[in-house]
Amino acid sequence: MRTPLTSLAVSLLLATSCGGVRDGATSLPASEARTRQAATGNQDLAARGADPLPEPSPQSDPLRELAALSSDPAPEDITLDTHYVVSNEDQQHAFRNAIKGLGGAYVGVGAEQSYLFGGWARSDILYLLDFDDWVVHINEVYGLVFRHAQTPEQVIELWSADREAEVVSWIDASEVPPSVRAERKAVFTQSRARVEHRLKMLKQWLDGAKIPFFGNDRAELEHIATMWRTGRVRCVRGDLTMKGALQSFADWRSARGGSCGSSTCPTPSNTSDTTRGGFAPTCGLCPSTRARWYCIRTRSTRPAITISGKTRGPTSTGPIERRAS
């Protein structure tokens, strides 16, 4: 039986001197068309007081290469025969201050948690992988929602039953093979209510804690939406036990001179030494010796949570670790 990739998250948050959005540099040059898209997105961000994305160079189109990175083979089975279309971890916001503004590339499994961490870190790339195709489809639907939502409140509203037909029409209009559209619509209609409930709970928790996220803050929404509009998000079926999709991204990122940034690599919950001998060797996301990464461990247990503005501490197996890359 495979263990759940979403039940224990190990976040590698790389903050280095060799890149990232905070110094305005980017290793992600793109075509002139994408440059115009990014400029338009940054104008929207500036108007709303959000941090701009780094401007791509017109020299080449690595974002097209990012979109073409291959996926891993489908697994023989999935954990507990369950599709984790929403996170089974709570209080991820406890780590916000540790990752805020780190920039760089974000790599992670799961669904909405990636948009939380990627937004708070102000990542310039989101590489979202999961070995379950359902999660990949849900992340793609999130992309449609982020691109169409006019307000943070609409991000949640678009997962409601009243807006289901509208989202289905966007899936129908998407440029993917008919078989993919059919599967994506089926996953969306079966998962929609769970996602809506999860987002409503997130809003209740984060509103009470006065923490911004894409469902209550325009700047958070615009950062994620602009990444989708400018081709900076890639959703792929990926297995962290293989040197396939994850290694392909590491090679791509390194080849562009932007191996440094932030990444999140969840691991099996009952693998105690994964950072030593499990998934870590497959990452290779930041070979520079100047880099360091931050390891945040979370677990899937859900303690009782007070929603009156106070919450318990993070569901964490330990403090943030700081290691040389």
pLDDT, position 166: 98
pLDDT, position 25: 33
pLDDT, position 294: 52
- Beta-carbon contacts of residue 146 (< 8 Å; ≥ 6 apart): 115, 155, 214, 221, 224, 225, 228
Block residue for tokens 């097209």: 64
- Which is more confidently placed, 265 or 225? 225
Give percent above pLDDT 70 in the chain: 60
Block residue for tokens 């959005």: 21
What mean pLDDT comes out for the span 25-41? 43
- Which is more confidently placed, 250 or 143? 143
Predicted confidence band of residue 94 (pLDDT cuts 50, 70, 90)? confident
Measured CA to CA in angstroms, residue 46 lies from 13, 35, 37, 168, 284 at distances of 26, 16, 14, 31, 34
Beta bridge partners of 8: 267, 299
The C-alpha atoms of residue 156 and residue 317 are separated, in whole angstroms, by: 31
Beta bridge partners of 130: 237
What mean pLDDT comes out for the span 295-319? 40
Predicted confidence band of residue 95 (pLDDT cuts 50, 70, 90)? confident
- CB of 127 within 8 A of CB of 67? no
pLDDT (tens digit, 9 = 90+) per residue, 236-295? 998 877 888 888 888 888 887 664 344 444 333 322 223 333 343 344 444 433 444 555
Vertex 23 angle, CA 19 and 25, to 5°: 55
User: Picking from 61-65, 101-105, 277-281, which range would have the lowest pLDDT averaged per residue?
Assistant: 277-281
pLDDT, position 246: 85
The number of helix segments (H) and strand segments (E) in the chain equals: 12, 7
Measured CA to CA in angstroms, residue 40 lies from 35, 89, 145 at distances of 9, 35, 19
Region of 55 please: left (phi>0), alpha (psi -120 to 50) or beta. Answer: beta
Under DSSP, the state recorded for 160 is: S
The C-alpha atoms of residue 11 and residue 160 are separated, in whole angstroms, by: 31
Give percent above pLDDT 90 in the chain: 40
The C-alpha atoms of residue 229 and residue 235 are separated, in whole angstroms, by: 14
Block residue for tokens 């081709």: 231
Query: Average pLDDT, whole number, for the chain?
Result: 72
pLDDT, position 223: 97
